[in-house]
Amino acid sequence: MSLIFTQALYLAWWKDYSFQCEPVDFSYTPKAFQVARVCWYYFLLKIFDWLDTIFFVLRKKQSHVSFLHVYHHCGMVVFSWIGVKYYPSGHGTFFGLINTFVHAIMYTYYLLSSMKINMISWKKHITQLQMIQFVIIACHMSQIFWTDCEYPRWIAVTCITQSVIFLVLFADFYYYAYVKPTNSATS
């Protein structure tokens, strides 16, 4: 996860890409192939995340499988496949950059928790970070509408729509997990 994040920074977003408008590079240059390869690795990670859902189902851990979990992981596989297949660089890769950063933190939490290190205070903040991610992505993609950018606007519409849906679903989860008082707390 962190390798993909650092590669995306190094190859694209750290110095060469424009945060305002970055068209897709359809050339056959070595850099275009390197960026496309990083996009491919990102897609493979989304398949790995999706397999997490399948393993929950196979292990009969239904309490871990929510609509949010299924929708998020299935949607990410579909959208990252579209990205890597048809638009393997450009403005939309910022989504993957931010997402790999958030997932690196999230998987660090999982690792430390599996080592029996008390990381329970991280859970709430990771959910907050995920919600911030969707706001940043929606704002970033909305720039396509007021710039003369050679990037497909339908992708921006789709990305913004999915970011809003993810934000609402994660906010709902956050409310019921961390804000709403439980019955035991009010008794």
As annotated, the active-site residues are: 72
Q: What is the DSSP string of 107-169?
A: HHHHHHHHTT---HHHHHHHHHHHHHHHHHHHHHHHGGGGS--SS-HHHHHHHHHHHHHHHHH
Dihedral sign from CA coordinates of 164, 168, 173, 174: positive
Cβ 90 vs Cβ 144: under 8 Å: no
Q: Tokens 């390798």 identify what position?
A: 3
What totals of helices (H) and strands (E) does the chain contain, helices first? 7, 0
Cβ 167 vs Cβ 139: under 8 Å: no
